[in-house]
Amino acid sequence: MAERQNLGEFEQVVLLAILRLRDRAYGASIRTEIAKCTQREPTPGALYTTLDRLEDKGLVKTNMGHPTPERGGRRKRFYKVSPAGVDAVARAQTAFRRLLDGVELPGVACVY
């Protein structure tokens, strides 16, 4: 049985952004997606070290794309959430929703 991974808040944010982007998830697009959804721009240092950590934990898989001119001829590193990553983020979100159940917060719609 695979070891259960506990996720930090930013790790969950990154995993959810990758899931939202599907097969278009690479550094710049993940950063933009996070900024769009959370109204805060992650620093490259925080984002890339988190992506490295998620990859080391086996929660995301990566592959290199093709070089493109707008990137100075450099390749993109595409990220995909692994089954273990999906499981980890699902457990974390389930726990959050259980905690939210019965709690009324201003501006937060009830999901149930």
- The dihedral of CA 67, 71, 72, 75: what is its sign? negative
Sort strands 60-68 and 74-81 into parallel, antiparallel or unpaired.
antiparallel
Contacts of 21 (CB under 8 A, 6+ apart): 29, 30, 33
Q: Is residue 77 close enough to count as binding other proteins by CB under 8 A? A: yes
Question: Residue 14, interface with other proteins (CB under 8 A)?
Answer: no
Q: Does 39 bind other proteins (CB under 8 A)?
A: no
Q: Rule CB under 8 A: say whether 52 interacts with other proteins.
A: yes
Interface residue with other proteins among 8, 71, 83, 101 (CB under 8 A) is 71
Give me the residues that bind other proteins (CB under 8 A), please.
26-28, 31, 43-46, 48-49, 52-53, 64, 68, 70-72, 74-77
